[in-house]
Structure 1
Amino acid sequence: MKTPDASCPPLFDAPSFLATLTQRPGVYRMLDGQGEVIYVGKAKNLKKRLAHHFGHGDTSGKQRAMIARVREVRVTVTHTEREALLLENQLIKAHKPRYNINLRDDKSYPYITVSTHQAFPRVSFHRGARPKQGRHFGPFASAGAVRESLKLLQKIFRVRQCRDSFFANRSRPCLQHQIQRCTAPCVGLIDSATYGEDVADTILFLEGKGDRLIGQLIKRMELASQQQQFEQAARYRDQIASLRTILATQAVAGESGDLDIIATACHGAMACVQVVFIRTGQLVGDRAFFLQAPDDTDPSALVEAFIPQYYLERPVPRELIVSHDLPNEALIAEFLTVQAQHP
């Protein structure tokens, strides 16, 4: 007669486990026989939600396959459903469970930084944790998008982009000044007040206030022309023309603030989420995410799972447009509001 394998964990006793559960909010982790977390879930009512899992509520093949692997369930009680949502996404990120929708994205987004705390500020590319000093604009969809924007800024506003060590040790202007991409503050060819005006113009543009900036430049151009400073007037004219071209190509009809647009498509085990970034009414890029998801995941569930994972450690825009209705829209809205710390 075959004897039981002592190394094989016993089957999970769901009825006994359910009898011990609270009806408070919380998070649960399902573990298989090897102690691996295979699913993380949240619940407004832990007892009711887990009874649904182990009763007859989950009848799909993927749910039955998951439940058949469960040998242990660990529960963490939280004060609120929002706390449960936050903890759930932290655990999903840590464990990457097989049966969860899992956003695998370790790439931090690039920003444009203006070092406004310096006497002659620098405009630069930045990725990673944002420094407390200076102004930061983004996120941009890719490093390439940032570099293209930096080229435009350098051409239009001529604010320095060199490293501080390079700036501090110059005795004569560099090549960027010779090709009219910098005003050479490193060797005193521009005073701090005039340079500060160029920096302020750069910030206005990055804030999406291009129309206001163009209005200011027109006034400066007219004044320079009246004072017969024709070279300076020509520079303002060229700036205005460049800005009008850029604004015409980037403007999004009917939008003036910060928003992300999230759309998704699923096919079997394949899932893709596309995020479009609009900042201050300007389209700054988009990005596709390919997610690990169980077979035949509902698109609404996919969007709802994606949002907390995505915005857990990213800035939240003022507005979010999604392709599908969210089953727990109020909870997701509360989570985003707290994450954004918007009034």
Structure 2
Amino acid sequence: MTRRLTPDEAEALLIPEPALETPAAAARERLLTEVAALPALPGVYRYFDAEGGLLYVGKAKHLKRRVSSYFQKDHGGTRIGHMVSKIVRMETTVVRSEAEALLLENNLIKSLNPRFNILFRDDKSYPYLKFVTHEFPRVVYFRGAVDRRHRYFGPYPSAWAVKEGIQLMQKVFLLRTCEDTVFHNRTRPCLLHQIHRCSAPCVDLISREDYAADVRNAVRFLSGQTQEVLDGLQAQMMACAEAFDYEKAAELRDQIATLSKVLQQQSVFTQEDRDTDILAVKVQGGRACVNLAMVRGGRHLGDRAYFPAHVEDAVAVDVGDEAPESAAEAAEAGDAPETARPVEARVLEAFIAQHYLGAACPPVLVTSHPVDRGLVAMLTDPQGHKVSAQHQPRENRRAWLDMAVKGAELALARLLSEEGSQQARTRALVEALDLAPEGMDAGLEGLRIECFDISHTAGEATQASCVVFEGHKMQPGQYRRYNITGITGGDDYAAMRQVLTRRYAKLVDAVQQGTGRLPDLVLVDGGRGQISVAREVFTTLGLNLSLLVGVEKGEGRKVGLEELVFADGREKVYLGHDSAALMLVAQIRDEAHRFAITGMRAKRASVRTGGSRLEDIAGVGPKKRARLLQRFGGVRGVAAASVEDLAGVEGISPELAEEIYRALR
């Protein structure tokens, strides 16, 4: 017999059990406990997500107050709220001072590339103009670790600027540029002497003393002492004329005239004797550009544009160190309140920190926006000389800054235009082929295309290339070359079968383990024959045939007439010569072709010249090996070169030069 429950008994049964704590809630509680235990000391903090990925690196004068600010406020659906919601783990490092915190933060950002920090590509390998120490010094282009035995001028913003400087040294001061191996074996003047670009010290057409005087004048000119050089040449010309040495006086007159003409052609030249870097920043359309212009010895050497990543995310998250507690404190510190700091200033400070800390910095920085004085002070100490920053310059520096600002505007406009065009091409291809990339949730950024090509010369040195297109641009860091072996020379079908099997057999295993991802589209340079082979490989591996497309050359093999051949049986498609989708396919196909050909040629040159001897030397990769072979004409030339000559090759350090010298003896 059953008994009906009273209302009180029924209500008691409805009382819920205590909720079980979820892993996410436990992790959050643990994180808040760690935050509460942080010290009131300067340091660096790092945020990680559930997969262990680094989200953000920041510095603080007061760790506890700074880190707590992320978790004590409701950031809603903002970017900073998005980041905070992903944080499951935190690491902190306590340091002795704010300066140490800045250095550590900068090193971690550059080495770990966090998702929510402003990132600049680490490109410190600027070229220099180098005077090689010798009885008759030569002037050369140089990039790499400096050697104190020689003299360097720069850095220059581009290789073109260095080469222009070398031409100037040849035109005005007639300095030699030839290798020592050539210099010591000349029996008559070379063509450069005939066109008045070298004084031919190799065959004693100029004395050691006169050549040394030309070198001194060149060094003084590059150091900014232009007027002193002109005055000295003028005095020598008058002395020669008074001594009735009219031929020498005429040579000096021509040299003065050439130098004066060169100075008139300079776009910017002043008597400014302090080396200066001009930094201008422009932010637009979610992208930023920092334009760096270099002035050395009073000469404007040119500029270089840098485009940081993660600007929008980083600026939303990077609220800087804790803001002063009051307006009076802010005024006393000489800084604007944090809320008033423009995006441009934050980008500029990120560039200065990542570009100059731990590297050479000129004594003067001219900036388009005011930057933190503490950051500038950090640039001073390691260099042993004072570095100053100026954001409201006058006279010449004002003109330099205006030029740099204009350059930043033009470079950013060009980038936005190119990115818009590339995104339109990506969208057109997705629509034309009815693709559904995995990254569609984030627009078309996730679309990944891989393209393959085969290259050989009459069956010799067969290589296959694989290039990758992702995020609306080519990804050179993900390119791969495959040496094809065990096939009949010239059998492109067998080569394609081998490279596709090697590429995707491993990738299929990685996908099954959850550590890899298949591309959204695979392009093969070829028609029905290549696609037939590729179809066999994909069928064997159990891959979707709709991913596979061949790029077949059109009638007469003319560009713009290509047709797409599908592995899943669809009819061939001609997109039209003016199709944006075909332009993207052709761009990717041509890049695969270029990458395959350069690899094949390097391999063939290695085989024919015995380059394997260089391959056996640790530290000598394909690029360095190619530069060595090109500079010295083959392995025999490399073996005959001195350590000094080897070190003059781009990318070859003095230590590596000695290793090469010993290995080839």
- If the length of structure 2 is used for normalisation, what is the TM-score? 0.48
Of 181, 187, 193, the residue aligned with 1:165 is 181
Distance in 2 (CA, whole Å) between partners of 1:57 and 1:301 is: 23
- Contact 1:9–1:71 (8 Å) recurs in 2: no
1:73 aligns with 2:90: yes
Following superposition, the deviation at residue 237 of structure 1 comes to 1.5
Flag the 1:66–1:260 CA change in 2: closer, same or farther, 3 A: same
Of 24, 31, 37, the residue aligned with 2:48 is 31
Which has the higher mean CA deviation after the structures are superposed, 168-177 or 20-29? 168-177
SS of 1:114's equivalent?
strand
2:154 alignment partner AA:
G
1:63 aligns with 2:66: no
> Residue in 1 aligned with 2:284?
267
Unaligned runs of 5+ in 1: none
Count of aligned pairs between the two proteins: 338
1:129 alignment partner AA:
A
Following superposition, the deviation at residue 53 of structure 1 comes to 2.1
2:90 alignment partner AA:
V
Q: How does 1:1-343 map to 2 (within 5 A)?
A: 10-11=27-28, 13-56=30-73, 61-106=78-123, 108-115=125-132, 117-248=133-264, 249-252=266-269, 255-295=272-312, 297=315, 298-326=343-371, 329-342=372-385
SS of 1:66's equivalent?
helix
Following superposition, the deviation at residue 153 of structure 1 comes to 0.9
Flag the 1:52–1:253 CA change in 2: closer, same or farther, 3 A: farther
Distance in 2 (CA, whole Å) between partners of 1:51 and 1:7 is: 19
Following superposition, the deviation at residue 216 of structure 1 comes to 0.2
1:154 alignment partner AA:
Q
Distance in 2 (CA, whole Å) between partners of 1:7 and 1:25 is: 29
Higher relative contact order (CA 8 A, sep 6+): 1
> Residue in 1 aligned with 2:652?
none
CA-based RMSD? 2.4
Distance in 2 (CA, whole Å) between partners of 1:258 and 1:192 is: 31
Following superposition, the deviation at residue 136 of structure 1 comes to 0.8
SS of 1:34's equivalent?
coil
Distance in 1 (CA, whole Å) between partners of 2:76 and 2:295 is: 41
Distance in 2 (CA, whole Å) between partners of 1:325 and 1:201 is: 38
Which has the higher mean CA deviation after the structures are superposed, 181-190 or 278-287? 181-190
SS of 2:92's equivalent?
strand
Which has the higher mean CA deviation after the structures are superposed, 187-196 or 57-66? 57-66
- Contact 2:124–2:355 (8 Å) recurs in 1: no
Distance in 1 (CA, whole Å) between partners of 2:156 and 2:29 is: 47
Following superposition, the deviation at residue 302 of structure 1 comes to 0.9
Following superposition, the deviation at residue 335 of structure 1 comes to 1.1
Following superposition, the deviation at residue 223 of structure 1 comes to 1.3
Following superposition, the deviation at residue 5 of structure 1 comes to 9.2
Following superposition, the deviation at residue 336 of structure 1 comes to 0.8
1:96 alignment partner AA:
N
Flag the 1:255–1:194 CA change in 2: closer, same or farther, 3 A: closer
Distance in 2 (CA, whole Å) between partners of 1:210 and 1:57 is: 61
Flag the 1:206–1:57 CA change in 2: closer, same or farther, 3 A: farther
Identity of aligned residues (%): 40
Following superposition, the deviation at residue 59 of structure 1 comes to 7.0
Distance in 2 (CA, whole Å) between partners of 1:217 and 1:29 is: 61
Larger Cα Rg: Structure 1 or Structure 2? Answer: 2
SS of 1:291's equivalent?
coil
Distance in 1 (CA, whole Å) between partners of 2:381 and 2:226 is: 31
Q: Residues 139-169 of structure 1, C-alpha deviation per residue, up to 9 Å, x if partnerless?
A: 1111011111111110110111111222222
- Contact 2:31–2:88 (8 Å) recurs in 1: no
Distance in 1 (CA, whole Å) between partners of 2:95 and 2:361 is: 24
- If the length of structure 1 is used for normalisation, what is the TM-score? 0.91
SS of 1:219's equivalent?
helix
Q: Residues 45-84 of structure 1, C-alpha deviation per residue, up to 9 Å, x if partnerless?
A: 1111111222228678121111111111111111111111
SS of 1:173's equivalent?
coil
Flag the 1:12–1:163 CA change in 2: closer, same or farther, 3 A: farther
1:309 alignment partner AA:
Q
Distance in 2 (CA, whole Å) between partners of 1:57 and 1:285 is: 47
Following superposition, the deviation at residue 98 of structure 1 comes to 1.1
Flag the 1:128–1:4 CA change in 2: closer, same or farther, 3 A: farther
Distance in 1 (CA, whole Å) between partners of 2:93 and 2:244 is: 74
Flag the 1:49–1:184 CA change in 2: closer, same or farther, 3 A: same
SS of 1:264's equivalent?
strand
- Contact 2:193–2:199 (8 Å) recurs in 1: yes
Flag the 1:135–1:8 CA change in 2: closer, same or farther, 3 A: farther
1:283 alignment partner AA:
H
Unaligned runs of 5+ in 2: 1-19, 316-342, 387-665
Distance in 1 (CA, whole Å) between partners of 2:214 and 2:150 is: 16
Distance in 1 (CA, whole Å) between partners of 2:75 and 2:250 is: 71
Higher helix share: 2
- Contact 1:271–1:293 (8 Å) recurs in 2: no
Flag the 1:285–1:305 CA change in 2: closer, same or farther, 3 A: same
SS of 2:311's equivalent?
coil
Flag the 1:254–1:243 CA change in 2: closer, same or farther, 3 A: closer
Flag the 1:21–1:6 CA change in 2: closer, same or farther, 3 A: closer
- Contact 1:89–1:308 (8 Å) recurs in 2: yes
Following superposition, the deviation at residue 253 of structure 1 comes to 5.4
> Residue in 1 aligned with 2:532?
none
Distance in 2 (CA, whole Å) between partners of 1:230 and 1:12 is: 91
